[in-house]
Amino acid sequence: MKAIQAAKIMKKIMADHFLDLDRAAKEGKPKVAWCTSVGPAELLRGMGFLVYFPENHGAMLGATRMATEFIPVANAMGYSPEICSYLTSDVGAFLKKTTPLTKAYGIEAVPKPDVLVFNTNQCRDVKDWFAWYARELQVPLVGIHSYRNIGAITHHEIADIAEQIKGLIPTLEAVSGEKFDLDRFKETVRLSRDTSRLWRTVLETAAAVPSPWTFFDATIHMGPAVVARGTQEAVDYYQVLLAELEQRVKDGVAAIEGEQHRLYWEGMPIWGKLRPLSDLFESLKTCVVASTYCNSWIFDQLDPAEPFESMARAYTELFIVRDEGFKEGYIEDCFRRFKFDGIVFHDARTCPNNSNSRYGMPERLAEKLGIAVLTINGDLNDLRCYSEEQAKTQIEAFVEQLEERR
Ligand code: SF4
């Protein structure tokens, strides 16, 4: 895989993000809010909070392969091995007073929250996860209860979610000790929208043949879109990354030398196996050009002129919130844009919410689009659910099948 120069800037943004949080948690100001990854981050940032995302920490536990050690700690407390392994590994690591932030940034412990804010748009697990911390740390817990598995979204749903977002303000004011400032909030929404627009454009550079980068690159470079949306740093970063990728496209630089096949990755990354998977696809001259996962942080519905309603729309029109019909239409659109010849569905054992192979979708899409599909079993963090040998054999056979179809 070719190194991306902008990575240096990204690493600094991520380091600053965690070091600022660490400092704030120690000094007691600014206040720290924990937020679910597709939760109302703009409201929190727009009210002066520094925002920490436990799912991002969960992904770090997965990527560093520390997760598998901590999951049993949460299991022993009654949190099933079948539920979200971000939750179980994160809670387990907390109880064991361990965090990958120590090795990465010299930070001793995760930054203690002043408030916990969830949105159930992605799953119920996030609420249960935050509820554990609310009890453990005696911190207020507030959130938004979203609709799930919906097709068309109506005005009623948007109005309801917008009201729920507004309803968070009194608690957040009480925690921060600051009055809500509409202009500051609007400015954060604008910055988040600009970040999202750039993130979309960056992802869409992979429509070029050959693609200038892969899904595996994008899982790393999505960091600022997740943790720093709503900041000028994130906007600046994606301008730099975009320029680099556009230059690659202009120069015909391929992420995968001699690109022969193009794939779509559906479902969660297998965080502890990104490198071997990336190497495997590279050896097969196959580029994973697009994914549902990386697209999930595009919130370009955001509009500073209608901050509450547009936030409600952005956080309800998400792929994960929608029904099978919408999801299939979405992947079809991606198929036209990214010109892939197959889809790999990752059936993540502990995340039914982000596993879309369980109700016949691969078979329907294969027939409709005339492309090959493959389902591999694994998990986002629990590597006990993943057989590397089996996945390797399946992927090699799948690429052979693509060869035969050419
Ligand atoms: S969507 Fe899946 S991975 Fe994300 S928090 Fe929920 S259960 Fe965990």
Distance from C-alpha of 343 to C-alpha of 95, rounded to nearest angstrom: 38
Which domain range does residue 310 map to? 185-405
Q: Assign 406 a pLDDT band (cuts: 50, 70, 90).
A: confident
Consecutive H or E run containing 244: helix 232-250
Q: What is the DSSP letter of 51?
A: E
| Ligand 1 geometric centre to CA of 50 (Å) | 22
Distance from C-alpha of 270 to C-alpha of 267, rounded to nearest angstrom: 9
Distance from C-alpha of 40 to C-alpha of 312, rounded to nearest angstrom: 9
Give the residue-averaged pLDDT of 258-279: 98
Residues 194, 145: one domain? no
Would 191 be classed as within a structural domain?
yes
Angle between helices 232-250 and 7-27 (to 10 degrees): 170
Q: Relative to the CA of 55, which ligand 1 atom is closest? A: 5
148 burial class (0-12, 13-18, 19+ CB within 10 angstroms)? middle
Of 147, 181, 215, the domain-final residue = 181
Question: Given a cut of 90, is residue 405 above it in pLDDT?
Answer: no
Would 141 be classed as within a structural domain?
yes
CATH code for the domain in which residue 326 is found = 3.40.50.11900
CB-CB contact of 320 with 239 (8 Å): no
Q: Relative to the CA of 123, which ligand 1 atom is closest? A: 6
Helix (H, G, I), strand (E, B) or coil at 141: strand
Q: Which residues pair with 288 in a beta bridge?
A: 263
In sequence order, what DSSP letters do the residues of 348-406 get, joined into one string?
ETT-GGG---TTSHHHHHHHHHT-EEEEEEE-SS-GGG--HHHHHHHHHHHHHHHHHH-
pLDDT tens digits, one per residue of 119-165:
999 999 999 999 999 999 999 999 999 999 999 999 999 999 999 99
pLDDT tens digits, one per residue of 229-246:
999 999 999 999 999 999
Distance from C-alpha of 278 to C-alpha of 212, rounded to nearest angstrom: 14
Q: Is the pTM of this model over 0.95?
A: yes
Q: Assign 29 a pLDDT band (cuts: 50, 70, 90).
A: very high
User: CA end-to-end span of the chain, whole Å?
Assistant: 25
pLDDT tens digits, one per residue of 182-207:
999 999 999 999 999 999 999 999 99
Residues 161, 304: one domain? no
Name the pairing type of β-strands 115-119 and 32-35.
parallel
Give the residue-averaged pLDDT of 290-294: 97
Q: Whose CA is nearest to atom 8 of ligand 1?
A: 84
Q: Nearest CA to 48 among 114, 118, 134?
A: 114
Number of domain units in the chain: 2
Strand intervals (E) in 79-175: 115-119, 141-144
Q: Which of 270, 354, 381 maximizes ligand 1 atoms within 8 Å of its Cβ, making it the mutation to test the pocket?
A: 354
Q: Whose CA is nearest to atom 5 of ligand 1?
A: 126
Instruction: Specify the pLDDT at position 137.
Output: 98
Q: Nearest CA to 378 among 369, 393, 388?
A: 388
Q: Whose CA is nearest to atom 2 of ligand 1?
A: 351
List strands edge to edge, sheet with 32-35.
Answer: 50-52, 32-35, 115-119, 141-144
Percentage with pLDDT > 70 across the chain? 100
Would 1 be classed as within a structural domain?
no
Give the residue-averaged pLDDT of 102-112: 98
Q: Which of 38, 86, 119 maximizes ligand 1 atoms within 8 Å of its Cβ, making it the mutation to test the pocket?
A: 86
Give the residue-averaged pLDDT of 204-227: 98
CATH code for the domain in which residue 40 is found = 3.40.50.11890
Q: Count CA atoms closer than 13 A to 250's CA, side-chain side.
A: 6
Residues 265, 339: one domain? yes
Percentage with pLDDT > 90 across the chain? 99
Residues 127, 222: one domain? no
Return the amino acid letter for 72: P
pLDDT tens digits, one per residue of 49-76:
999 999 999 999 999 999 999 999 999 9
Q: Which of 71, 89, 126, 132 maximizes ligand 1 atoms within 8 Å of its Cβ, making it the mutation to test the pocket?
A: 126
Helix (H, G, I), strand (E, B) or coil at 118: strand
Give the residue-averaged pLDDT of 98-108: 98
Q: Assign 103 a pLDDT band (cuts: 50, 70, 90).
A: very high
Residues 326, 373: one domain? yes
Distance from C-alpha of 365 to C-alpha of 362, rounded to nearest angstrom: 5
Instruction: Specify the pLDDT at position 2.
Output: 82
What lines the ligand 1 site, CB under 6 Å?
55, 84, 86, 122-123, 125-126, 268, 351, 353-354, 380
CB-CB contact of 185 with 307 (8 Å): yes
Average pLDDT along the chain: 97
Tokens of 35: 């937020």
